[in-house]
Amino acid sequence: MSSTTPPYTRPLELRHGHVDLGHGAGGRAMNQLIAELFVRAFDNPALARGDDGAVLPAPAAGERLVMATDGHVVSPLFFPGGDIGSLAVHGTVNDLAVMGARPLWLAAGFILEEGFPLAELARIVASMAAAARAAGVQIVTGDTKVVEQGKGDGVFITTTGVGALPAGRDPGGARARPGDAVLVSGTLGDHGMAILAQRESLAFESQIVSDSAAVNGLVEALYAAVPADAIRVLRDPTRGGLASTVNEIAAQSGVGIELDEAAIPVAPQVLAACELLGLDPLNIANEGKLVVVCAARFAEAALAALRAHPRGAAAARIGQVIDDPRRFVQLRTVLGGRRMVDWLAAEQLPRIC
Amino acid sequence: MKYVTEFRDGALAAGLAGAIARAVEPGRDYAFMEFCGGHTHAISRHGVADLLPASVRLIHGPGCPVCVLPVGRVDMAIRLALARPEVILCTYADCLRVPASDGLSLLKAKARGADVRMVYSAADALALALARREPAREVVFFAIGFETTTPPTALVIRQAAAENLRNFSVICNHVLTPPAIDALLSPPADGTPRPRLDGILGPAHVSVVIGSAPYDFVATRHRTPVVITGFEPLDVLQAVRMLVRQVNQGRAEVENEYTRAVTPAGNRKAQALMAEVLEVRARFAWRGLGELPASALRIRPAFAAWDAEAKFGLEDRPVPDHKSCECAAILCGAKGPTDCRLFGTVCTPATPMGACMVSSEGACAAHYNYGRFRDRALVL
């Protein structure tokens, strides 16, 4: 009697096992890693087919597709408020969301270092799955490579996403006009300071928690509250912080921007840590915040919509777009003076995302 | 936030600004130098100058450790780190981007394979040596700063000696504040013009260590008022008000606005520690001020085993500044950042040519980052 039972394979040693070169070699070990870890955690029909790519439905009539990609090399891999897995989902989801799109699907590429504990990989994958569920996206295809020990740093994850852009939505960095209002969805600098506090030997009395989160919910709340055309620019102020984001907008739109320091929300523990280290919270990275430039007439409605969302309680109107051919960003200080807010000149802190 | 927001209060600032405006005498100009880069940064970052009447001018001084560090010293560290693969060269973040000879900096040397690392404190550097108690790796701490960062350097050298830790040493570049102020107020040897100074905003953190007494010569010998002041913007405004009052009354005294931290005698324990481990160099070349006698510190012979200059036979070869770079004149207040042809063109914080553009406390970086929107000429 011929048997159809596949030969016995020992289940993946998720508790004590380690990544080895076989997990990226294309053979049985790699298939097992994909089946027992990734497919199980990400759990969706497109991935479960086990083919080389994902087959996806076409967008609705009138919708366009938006595509974005983001590589993640954060160190440490686990930090208060998140880990490289949730960050890899949020990074790409947010890139799609600030284009005005509804994020739908992600592809994930993993570069694993030989010797990396499978238990930690499982934790990262579970965190990715949870973040994807919360953001309403599916991880539908992926890739796994393994590099020799010393050639990586545990895990690097690249995610690529596709979203659908509803008709009428067209936010863009070049659309800010003098008179427009500048809003931010919450406190600034939380992610960068959380990473910094985790690193080296820096310990603060109160823990700083990363704001790593998907902003697509905030974006949908905005579009539900104000006319699509009133939303000129959406950005997530990641590396370089708010300072780089508003400078990008000023440069792309050919305008100046004037911020009001007293209105910019910063958590007290982040401000304290910044003071101690001589850093400016405006330069520190965020991973779950939204910068909105919108027509002044709709600024209060937009602000109310952000504040009504659970992730936007601390949202604030922080400034306005002004006419300035030099494209400078200025800040009215709490003290009553003025200064410029410039691009971040050099890397303040490598590998924060 | 306690101890920060209180000293940045807009209403109090407006009150002080009003008091200064009422105090200045018509037809009189007041030129005050803030010696410290910490003050330069605070003034620029909070827009303090906007609150002052036009007749009160703040001139940026040379109190930025990175800015006054001669290129030759950085070259020395780079040569060591590149020549000896066993060396782990660690230093403060500001030092990493200082432009050195041959288009190099410590950061660029790192990209070429040197093991250069950023540390937050001298103690971090020592911890690195303790953690790798393998004689194969040599941890060298490139120490810079005025009297504020000197005691921690002295402490790690003493700790290394106590533990007989042989894989740790220090390149000591520590400099002294009073000789630099003396040089600024004295006629220069080379005839370069010095600005007229009606008063000095004295150092905050440096004075916590050395006290207020070491500035007495500024008042007595140079007849110039000094007000020691904290690094918060309200401190600066209050100190300006005190200086205006001294000038109006024809007084020249050392006054202390920063009484919450500074005493006449300073921190005697820190002073004793510095004296135990370090001694005054006969002379030291400052960027901008030239060679100044008795203006810097070196490691005492008793601790020579932890003196990287002695241990590795390092040679300090002086290097002239870039021909068009005005750092020297800017550092002593004779010129402003926009008087330099390189400012904002080839010299920016991303690609600094001179030291004043490297540190956020440097006069050029402060003006570029915070103040250039005021310039009439378009510097994009």
At the top level of CATH, which class does the domain B5-66+178-256 belong to? Answer: alpha beta
Q: Could B371 and A340 be called an inter-chain contact, meaning their C-beta atoms sit closer than 8 Å?
A: yes
Residue of B4, B127, B370 lying closest to A275 (CB–CB): B4
Query: Which pLDDT score is estimated for A4?
Result: 65
- The domain locations on chain B are 5-66+178-256, 67-172+266-311
**Whether pLDDT at A258 is above 60:** yes
Percent share of chain A, pLDDT over 70: 94
Tokens of B32: 């005050």
Distance from CA of A268 to the nearest CA of B (A): 6
Query: pLDDT class for A147, splitting at 50, 70, 90?
Result: very high
Q: What is the pLDDT of residues A78-87, one digit of tens each?
A: 999 999 999 9
Return residues 232-291 of A near B (CB < 8 Å): 262, 268, 271-272, 275, 277-278, 280
Residues of A in contact with B236 (CB under 8 A): none
Residues of B in contact with A277 (CB under 8 A): 120
Assess contact for B107 and B116: CB atoms under 8 A.
yes
The answer to whether B97 contacts chain A (CB < 8 Å) is yes
**Whether pLDDT at A94 is above 60:** yes
Question: Which of A127, A237, A255 lies closest to A188, judged by CA?
Answer: A237
Residue of B4, B8, B370 lying closest to A335 (CB–CB): B8
Q: What is the pLDDT of residues B313-354, one digit of tens each?
A: 999 888 887 788 888 888 888 888 999 999 999 999 888 888
The answer to whether A60 contacts chain B (CB < 8 Å) is no
Residues of B in contact with A272 (CB under 8 A): 1, 4
Tokens of B50: 């906007």
Q: Helices then strands (H, E): number in chain A? A: 10, 13
Q: Could A338 and B47 be called an inter-chain contact, meaning their C-beta atoms sit closer than 8 Å?
A: yes
Distance from CA of B45 to the nearest CA of A (A): 6
List the single best residue of A187, A271, A279, A339 to mutate versus B (max B Cβ within 10 A): A339
Assess contact for A187 and A267: CB atoms under 8 A.
yes
Distance CA B309, CA B313 (A): 5
Residues of B in contact with A201 (CB under 8 A): 120, 124, 127
Residue of A201, A268, A280 lying closest to B124 (CB–CB): A201
Q: Could you tell me where the beta strands, DSSP code E, fall in chain A?
A: 64-72, 78-79, 82-83, 102-113, 138-147, 155-165, 181-184, 231-235, 256-260, 291-294, 316-322, 329-332, 338-340
Angle between helices A118-135 and A84-97 (to 10 degrees): 30
The answer to whether B124 contacts chain A (CB < 8 Å) is yes
Domain covering B67-172+266-311: architecture: 3-Layer(aba) Sandwich (3.40)
Q: Which portions of chain B are predicted below pLDDT 50?
A: 378-380
Q: What is the pLDDT of residues A265-289, one digit of tens each?
A: 999 999 988 888 888 999 999 999 9
Residue-level length of chain A: 353
Reduced to 3 states, what is the DSSP secondary structure of residue B139? strand
Distance CA B94, CA B74 (A): 12
Query: Which pLDDT score is estimated for B380?
Result: 45
Query: Which pLDDT score is estimated for B379?
Result: 46
Q: What is the pLDDT of residues A150-193, one digit of tens each?
A: 999 999 999 999 999 999 999 999 999 999 999 999 999 999 99
Q: Could B49 and A337 be called an inter-chain contact, meaning their C-beta atoms sit closer than 8 Å?
A: yes
Asked if the bond preceding B188 is cis, omega within 30° of 0, the reply is: no
Assess contact for A279 and B45: CB atoms under 8 A.
no
What residue has token string 């509250």? Answer: A225
Residues of A in contact with B50 (CB under 8 A): 336-338
Query: Which pLDDT score is estimated for B147?
Result: 96
The answer to whether B1 contacts chain A (CB < 8 Å) is yes
Q: Could B47 and A336 be called an inter-chain contact, meaning their C-beta atoms sit closer than 8 Å?
A: yes
Distance CA A182, CA A295 (A): 9
Query: pLDDT class for A350, splitting at 50, 70, 90?
Result: low
Distance from CA of B232 to the nearest CA of A (A): 11
Q: Could A335 and B233 be called an inter-chain contact, meaning their C-beta atoms sit closer than 8 Å?
A: yes
Q: Could A339 and B120 be called an inter-chain contact, meaning their C-beta atoms sit closer than 8 Å?
A: no
Residue B287, judged by CB atoms within 10 A of its CB (0-12, 13-18, 19+), counts as buried
Find all residues with CB under 8 Å of B10, minimum gap 6, and list them: A262, A334, A335, A336
CA distance from start to end of chain B: 35
Q: Could B8 and A200 be called an inter-chain contact, meaning their C-beta atoms sit closer than 8 Å?
A: no
User: Which residue in chain A is spatially nearest to B46 when comparing CA positions?
Assistant: A333
How do beta strands A155-165 and A102-113 pair? antiparallel
Percent share of chain A, pLDDT over 90: 82
Distance from CA of A247 to the nearest CA of B (A): 12
Computed over every residue of chain A, the mean pLDDT equals 93
